[in-house]
Structure 1
Amino acid sequence: MSGLLWVAWRGQRAQAAAIAALLLLYGVAATVERLEPDLTGLTFQLAGFLAGAICLIWGAPLIAREFEAGTYKLAWTQSLSRGRWLAAVLAVAAAGALTATAALAAVLTWSLPDTGGNPMAWPYYESHGPVPYGRSLFALALGVALGAVTRHTRIAMPLSVLLVGAGQLAGRALRGRFDLPFWTMQWTETAAYLALTLALTGIAYLAIRHRA
């Protein structure tokens, strides 16, 4: 399995580099705003960008490009089950997504303005606790599932971004309707994200299993 993970990592280095570059640019912008308070506002408004970037850059092309290029045929004819192949590529992608989320959370913890002691204030809420990690896994799984079902990156990429954005807006709207403590809301929302992640992973598996 370790050899398979290495192959999966080699195939995803470009996505990892792209996400790392975005995080670096965001970190530079956050540093500039920290040093120049008059510029504060841009990184605050863009704090939720990572989920969209993960589904667009990493999730949607992960399976769809294999179908478009026909490279999946080689992987599936090497005495390798489709389930193991999917598990390997998803494990590498999930590790990368979680690492990126942790890096962004560290930047936001350092750079976000004072919320006045309100832990439910956005984007403090969405950059602390388990929610950002659950959301990143959901975004990844959504992109992968759409790519596996549509088999076209040009369809899966924009559609996944739209759905992730809609999901974030819906989450904020629903959050405002329930007067729950910070950690209760965090774990409830994270559980919902993880349930959706499992469901979408199952959809992706069924899509590649029935691929001729």
Structure 2
Amino acid sequence: MTHAPFLARGGSLPRLGLAWVTWRQHRFALYGLLGMLACFAALMVAGGLQARSTYEQLGLAQCTSYSSGRCQQLADDLFTSYGTKWPFLFLLLLPAAFGAFLGGPLIARELETGTYRFAWTQGAGRTRWLLTKLTLIAVVLVAVTAGYGALYSWYNAPLDHVLPTGFGDYLNFELEGIVFPVQTLLAFAAGVFTGLLIRRTMVAVGTVFLGSFGLLMATVFKLRQDYMAPLTTTDKPGLRDWVVGTGFADPAGHLLSDSQSRSLYMKYVAQLPSGDGPTSVHTAPYRDWLQARHYAIVTSYHPAGRFWPFQLIEAGWMGLLTLLLAVATVWLVRRRIG
């Protein structure tokens, strides 16, 4: 009975007692997740050091532009040196993993095994028991994910300098701002709430993992680009702008519909010399053909300056949802469970 040694004479639990109990109950899950993070961190440190060495050896610091000529080839060589970057796509699974394996069992295990009858009748009380656990684990998650985001920014800095990408690049957007810790807190809060409702640890873990990852994918590929209305331009967007779509405008400046764009393209294909077909068509000739007929290619994009507004919008609605889930969880534990 791990709670008993911390009962004070008056029946209350010392302030540090619940913190120690929280650590004891969740240490193995934390060990496993932190061990996995340590492996990824070691890969990032090794890859970052290698990339910086390659950057110096290639003399990329002497280049003023990396879009053409020898400097473009050197930039491509640097990109090749980032051969270990692909595993970090799995970092996108971390919020779901933290939510499932730390949040899912937090209450579900107590309810499933019946130990809540003991844990919640001690001097600390169920509300203090829950708030202490939520707060301590949340602090650890924020510290770990924020530190990991800073490490990724350091690791990616040489490549980002020579081959910048639009801020909508999902790996960079997740890890180089404030979104990553908030995503993790949301998954954790959802895990605790789901475990409270389902009361089965393994079912809660699976449900939270799939649900959290599904929400992330929906956010990345559907919701995020609509946080603000995109701008349009007939010029080439900046390297760090986020291109979200392209279209065509007729000589009068009217945007073409999808069917009109396809019809225009078929006209272009029809006038190609015999033996040529769509598979041999390159973008540049088609652009020349359009410009000769006074059509314009219109690009929809979010300028690079929207990176932090987008970060704040996403962190805002996720943070609000996290708070609502936490309040609902505390209310249900206080009023409905027992």
- TM-score under structure 1 length normalisation: 0.90
Name the residue aligned to 1:87. 131
CA contact (8 A) 1:4 1:88 kept: yes
Give the whole-Å Cα distance in 1 for the aligned partners of 2:176 and 2:102: 23
After the TM superposition, which of the residue ranges 162-171 and 138-147 deviates more from structure 2? 162-171
CA contact (8 A) 1:30 1:43 kept: no
Give the whole-Å Cα distance in 2 for the aligned partners of 1:8 and 1:97: 14
- 1:28: Cα distance to partner? 2.8
Which structure has the highest helix share of the two? Answer: 1
Name the residue aligned to 1:171. 219
- 1:202: Cα distance to partner? 2.3
Identity %: 30
| Consecutive aligned runs of 4 or more in structure 1 exceeding 6 Å deviation | none
DSSP-derived class of the 1:39 partner: coil
Which structure has the highest strand share of the two? Answer: 2
5 Å-filtered alignment, 1:35-114, equals: 35=50, 37=81, 39-112=83-156, 113-114=159-160
Give the whole-Å Cα distance in 2 for the aligned partners of 1:134 and 1:30: 22
C-alpha spacing 1:176/1:84, structure 2 compared with 1 (3 Å): same
Rg larger for: 2
After the TM superposition, which of the residue ranges 77-86 and 154-163 deviates more from structure 2? 77-86
| Amino acid in structure 1 at the alignment position of 2:223 | L
- 1:38: Cα distance to partner? 6.0
1:161 to 187, 201, 209: 209
- 1:54: Cα distance to partner? 0.5
Unaligned runs of 5+ in 1: none
CA contact (8 A) 2:183 2:318 kept: yes
DSSP-derived class of the 1:78 partner: coil
Name the residue aligned to 1:199. 324
- 1:204: Cα distance to partner? 1.9
- 1:31: Cα distance to partner? 4.1
After the TM superposition, which of the residue ranges 30-39 and 127-136 deviates more from structure 2? 30-39
Name the residue aligned to 2:171. 123
Q: How many residues align?
A: 212
CA contact (8 A) 2:100 2:205 kept: yes
2:27 to 8, 13, 20: 13
CA contact (8 A) 1:61 1:144 kept: yes
CA contact (8 A) 2:43 2:84 kept: no
Give the whole-Å Cα distance in 2 for the aligned partners of 1:15 and 1:105: 21
Name the residue aligned to 1:27. 41
| Amino acid in structure 1 at the alignment position of 2:173 | Y
After the TM superposition, which of the residue ranges 187-196 and 31-40 deviates more from structure 2? 31-40
| Higher relative contact order (CA closer than 8 Å, sequence separation 6+) | 1
- 1:106: Cα distance to partner? 2.6
CA contact (8 A) 1:59 1:140 kept: yes
Q: CA RMSD in A?
A: 2.0
After the TM superposition, which of the residue ranges 68-77 and 149-158 deviates more from structure 2? 68-77
| Amino acid in structure 1 at the alignment position of 2:36 | L
CA contact (8 A) 2:94 2:184 kept: yes
Give the whole-Å Cα distance in 2 for the aligned partners of 1:38 and 1:103: 21
Give the whole-Å Cα distance in 2 for the aligned partners of 1:27 and 1:186: 24
CA contact (8 A) 1:47 1:108 kept: no
- 1:81: Cα distance to partner? 2.7
Give the whole-Å Cα distance in 2 for the aligned partners of 1:22 and 1:103: 15
- 1:153: Cα distance to partner? 1.0
CA contact (8 A) 2:107 2:195 kept: yes
Give the whole-Å Cα distance in 2 for the aligned partners of 1:182 and 1:138: 21
- 1:170: Cα distance to partner? 1.6
Unaligned runs of 5+ in 2: 1-14, 52-80, 231-301
Give the whole-Å Cα distance in 1 for the aligned partners of 2:95 and 2:82: 28
C-alpha spacing 1:78/1:111, structure 2 compared with 1 (3 Å): same
- 1:161: Cα distance to partner? 0.9
CA contact (8 A) 1:64 1:147 kept: yes
